[in-house]
Amino acid sequence: QVQLVESGGGLVQAGGSLRLSCAASGRTFSNYYMGWFRQAPGKERELVVGIDWRGARTYYADSVKGRLTISRDNAKNTVFLQMNSLKPEDTAVYYCAASVQSLSARNINYWGQGTQVTVSS
């Protein structure tokens, strides 16, 4: 069992920055692909960023390329999401996710509880 706890969400003005953290406990963190999904009201949950177990490969949705950066520290069992140049359309609940197979939503093994990010215009 893996527990994921997100922190760092909040309210920020457009153009501002936030840094989300996801602390993992339980089974070996370094075995898992890690990702951040988001879900805006009335929309489906979508994968925005992902990182492999070594941190060597990353994935970014087109809508966030150049603005969001994912990283992980396996020694601290933590994954980070640095969010810069935020836009109102980034407003959503952000979920940390862990998977041993892939970051397709149907393959996610563990989800965090979510943290709200609100970007005002």
Bigger pLDDT: 30 or 79? Answer: 79
Residue 30's pLDDT band (cuts 50, 70, 90): confident
pLDDT of amino acid 13: 98
Write out the E strands in the chain: 2-7, 10-13, 18-26, 33-39, 46-51, 58-60, 68-73, 78-83, 92-99, 110-111, 115-120
As a whole number, mean pLDDT of residues 14-32 equals: 92
Number of residues assigned to the chain? 121
As a whole number, mean pLDDT of residues 48-60 equals: 95
As a whole number, mean pLDDT of residues 11-26 equals: 96
Encode 53-88 in three state secondary structure: CCCCCEEECCCCCCCEEEEEECCCCEEEEEECCCCH
